[in-house]
Amino acid sequence: MEGMILTGALAVFVIVFVFAATKIVPQSQEWVVERLGKYRLTLKSGFHVIIPGVDKVAHKVSILERQLPEYPIDAITKDNAPISVTAATFFRVTHSHQVVYRIANIEQAIQSLVTGIVRAEIGKIDFDALQYDRASVSQNLEKELEKQAQEWGIEITRSELVDVTFDEETKRALQMQINAERERRAVVTRAEGAKRAAELTADAELYTAQKEAEARIVRANAEADATRTVSAAIAEAGDHPIRLELINSQIKAMEKIGASESSKTVLIPSDITGTLAGLSSLLTEFSGLIPTPKANKVADVDEAPPQDETAPASAAPRPAPDAPDSAGGTGEGPWERDR
């Protein structure tokens, strides 16, 4: 009976010993083992065996990445602007025994370190630089934290400024500065637009002047060619082309005057018959298509039809247009009077 009790007690002891000697560490933790009160080793994730009664698991440290609670940090910029910033810091444990034996409250230590570094970095820059260059402040903060955190067995994975606040007076000053900057940009934009418009106007005027000069050159060349052509025609045929052109211009002018709806009186020159006769003579001499005016006159005399003997003797020939009438007139016919 006593043997059975002893055997059962031994079995229980073995079971308890095995259970106490075997350790299974989770993936998200590291266990710090002490032997007789002194650090012996760190158990990583997995199955391990220790000596019960001699070795013990003194600390179970989480190696998950953690974030410090966000809190406001009061600071003053290089240009003496009071602000309040909020920093977000993430870290994880890399050496569990250092975290356990070198510092008591790791989170509080990191908060104090972040506060000091943030105030030092903000004091190096101006308020305006802080507004548009938070990234550089965050990078410097992370570097400084890394140097200090290595002694504690932790790694700063990320640290940045998430918010910057300031008092109402600073807000008003900042708004005035923003308005002034916008006004400056508007003035610069208007000035650049006016400058560009003036440049384009000057270019357009220069282009117009160049084209007008080219047009004048073309017209001058055309007039020179026309003058040379007329000079050659005059040298070859005498003054007949000039007389022909003058007569044509006179006839066209009379046509325009007669075709006008507002004209009530048409003045016909007294030498209209001479003009027509001169035109016929010029065409005859210039083209050579019909006989000369002298031959026409002879032909007209030879081919004149006999007068009607039955016509009354009192009928007198019509006076010449250029001869003065019996009343002492100037020789203008009735066709030359006002219509």
Segment 151-176 shows an average pLDDT of 82
- Judged against a pLDDT cut of 60, whether residue 184 lies above it is answered with yes
Question: In the structure, what pLDDT confidence band is assigned to residue 123 with cuts at 50, 70 and 90?
Answer: confident
The answer, yes or no, to whether residue 303 has pLDDT greater than 60, is no
Structure-derived torsion over alpha carbons of residues 294, 295, 298, 303, reported in degrees to the nearest 10: -140
Between CA 166 and CA 81 the distance in angstroms is 8
3-state secondary structure (DSSP) of residue 198:
helix
CATH superfamily of domain region 66-166 = Band 7 domain (3.30.479.30)
Domain ranges of the chain: 2-62, 66-166, 170-205, 233-253+271-286
Percentage of residues in the chain having pLDDT higher than 70:
73
pLDDT tens for residues 128-143?
778 777 888 888 888 8
Helix (DSSP H) and strand (DSSP E) numbers for the chain: 9, 9
CA distance 56 to 32: 8
Q: Any idea what the Cα angle at residue 247 is, between residues 241 and 250, rounded to 5°?
A: 140
Q: Which of 40-44, 168-172, 269-273, 310-314 has the lowest mean pLDDT?
A: 310-314
pLDDT of res. 263: 57
pTM: 0.48
- Predicted confidence at residue 231, as pLDDT, reads 76
Residue 257 backbone phi and psi in degrees, to 5: -65, -45
Strand order of the sheet with strand 55-62? 38-43, 29-35, 55-62
The more confident residue out of 107 and 268 is 107
State the average pLDDT over residues 164-172: 80
Distance CA 140, CA 145 (A): 9
pLDDT of residue 265: 61
Alpha-carbon gap, residue 125 to 138, rounded angstroms: 13
